[in-house]
Amino acid sequence: MFEARLIQGSVLKKMIDAIKDIVTDINLDCSSTGISVQAMDSGHVCLVLIELGSDGFEPYRCDRNITLGLGLKALSVVVRCANNDDSITIKAQEGTDNINFVFESPNGEKTSQFEIKLMDIDSEHLGIPDTEYDSVVKMPSHEFQRICRDMSQLGDSIVVACTKDGIQFSASGDMGSGKINLRQSSLVDKEEDQINIELNDPVHLTFALRYLNYFTKATPLSPTVTLSLKAESPLCVTYPIGDFGSMKFFLAPKIDD
Amino acid sequence: LIRQRDISSFFPEI
């Protein structure tokens, strides 16, 4: 038996909105410690990794490790039927080919139940090692969204460069070019408005803006985002989910041949 | 020429 109740059902809605343009099917890997999802886009350019600890759910019950394959289209249709302040309970019995969703309003007056057929999704599982990054930049998520949106008006690619002077985003195309520089904040009122730049080594990488713009669909999940960069390695864009999980996007850099 | 590498080539399969 698997059962997990998320008090803030809106978090699940936001997670699905964040990935539905990148992946079509996902496996929910459920264990006693929580739920994880690993999925690649059809072109194998990026990888999505969602990790949700069991402490984010009340109750959480997972008697045996179970993998639940779901089509995102169906999942998206179902969670859209939940109100933002509803709790969402996910239930699956061993040996059945369905997953159940129960939505409950805060006062308990309205409950809704939906069922989705499980799918058998064949996906390769990759090991994501702990990496020592050259630079780790934490910034307001809406700022990153704005930069990606603005730069995509100029070109298809963005160059991200971290130096002791800060982080620079640049793009160029037929129309012209643009550069945006961010420096580490000195004094800000709210921690979420802070720009924090950790630099071990200067780093300079190029990425496809199309994918970064997909990733910024996760902006409603968190006021902050972290960009982890390493030479000739995938960029890791991390959105924390409350204090119990995260959504990470890995994007392979573009390489000059 | 700018090339986009396959993301799975960066991580080991398990």
A57-86 per-position pLDDT tens digit: 999 999 999 999 999 999 999 999 999 999
- Across the A:B interface, residue pairs with CB atoms under 8 Å apart total 58
**pLDDT classification of B3: cutoffs 50, 70, 90:** confident
Neighbouring residues of A215: CB distance < 8 A, sequence distance ≥ 6: A18, A46, A237, A249, A251
For residues A229 and A158, is the Cβ–Cβ distance under 8 A? no
> How many CB atoms are located within 10 Å of the residue A110 CB?
11
Nearest Cα residue to A136 out of A167, A165, A113, A114 = A167
Query: Chain A: nearest CA to B6, how far in angstroms?
Result: 5
Is the CB of A128 less than 8 angstroms away from the CB of B11?
yes
For residues A37 and A29, is the Cβ–Cβ distance under 8 A? yes
Cα separation, A225 vs A222, whole angstroms: 7
Pairing mode of beta strands A60-62, A66-71: unpaired
> How many CB atoms are located within 10 Å of the residue A233 CB?
17
**pLDDT classification of A255: cutoffs 50, 70, 90:** confident
pLDDT average, residue stretch A14-18: 97
- What do you get for the CA distance between the two ends of chain B, in Å? 32
**pLDDT classification of B5: cutoffs 50, 70, 90:** confident
Cα separation, A203 vs A230, whole angstroms: 7
pLDDT average, residue stretch A11-22: 96
Contacts of A129 in chain B (CB under 8 A): 11-12
What region does A166 belong to: left with phi over 0, alpha with psi -120 to 50, or beta?
Answer: left
CA dihedral for A118, A128, A238, A169, sign (positive or negative): negative
Q: Which residue has the tokens 């396959």?
A: B6
3-class secondary-structure state, position A17: helix
**pLDDT for A140 beyond 90:** yes
Crossing angle (nearest 10°) for helices A10-19 and A72-79: 150
Give A166-218 pLDDT, tens digit per residue: 999 999 999 999 999 999 988 778 888 899 999 999 999 999 999 999 999 99
Query: Chain B: nearest CA to A233, how far in angstroms?
Result: 7
Residue A132 tokens read as 């020592």
Query: Chain A: nearest CA to B2, how far in angstroms?
Result: 5
What pLDDT score was predicted for residue B1?
A: 60
pLDDT average, residue stretch A231-240: 97
What pLDDT score was predicted for residue A189?
A: 81
For residues A246 and A238, is the Cβ–Cβ distance under 8 A? yes
Of B5, B6, B14, the CB nearest to A125: B14
For residues A16 and A75, is the Cβ–Cβ distance under 8 A? yes
Chain centre to alpha carbon of residue A182: 23
Q: Which residue has the tokens 């991580």?
A: B11
ipTM over the 0.90 cut-off:
yes
